[in-house]
Amino acid sequence: MTKFPVDAPRQKVVKALQVLGFRIIREKEHISLLRENHDGSKTPLTMPNHSKIKATTLRTICTQSRITREEFLDAYEKA
């Protein structure tokens, strides 16, 4: 099983989330993203606007936004 990247660059994490359908709503101290799902529902996501994102934070982001580990890692590799 592949591990989450340690101290992942923020820009690459955001690009991976955009590959998964999220779009940036606001960017200040935190980055607010939103994904509109096929069933009409919306999935909001807020992440810290740090230059590096820790692996524990990435796991929390995936849990809150209902993204599987494999989905995120595939998108991260594409970004």
In a 3-state reduction of DSSP, which class is residue 32?
Answer: strand
> CB within 8 A of 20, min separation 6: which ones?
35, 67, 71, 72, 75
Q: Sign of dihedral through CA atoms 1, 59, 69, 74?
A: negative
CB distance 25 to 33 below 8 Å: yes
Q: 1: which 2 tokens? A: 């099983």
Paired with 34 in beta bridges are 23, 44
Rounded-to-integer distance, Cα 68 and Cα 62, Å: 7
pLDDT in tens, 11-66: 999 999 999 999 999 999 999 999 999 999 999 999 999 999 999 999 999 999 99
Task: Delineate the domains of the chain, giving CATH numbers in brackets.
Answer: 8-78 (3.30.920.30)
To the question of pTM greater than 0.85 for the whole model, the response is yes
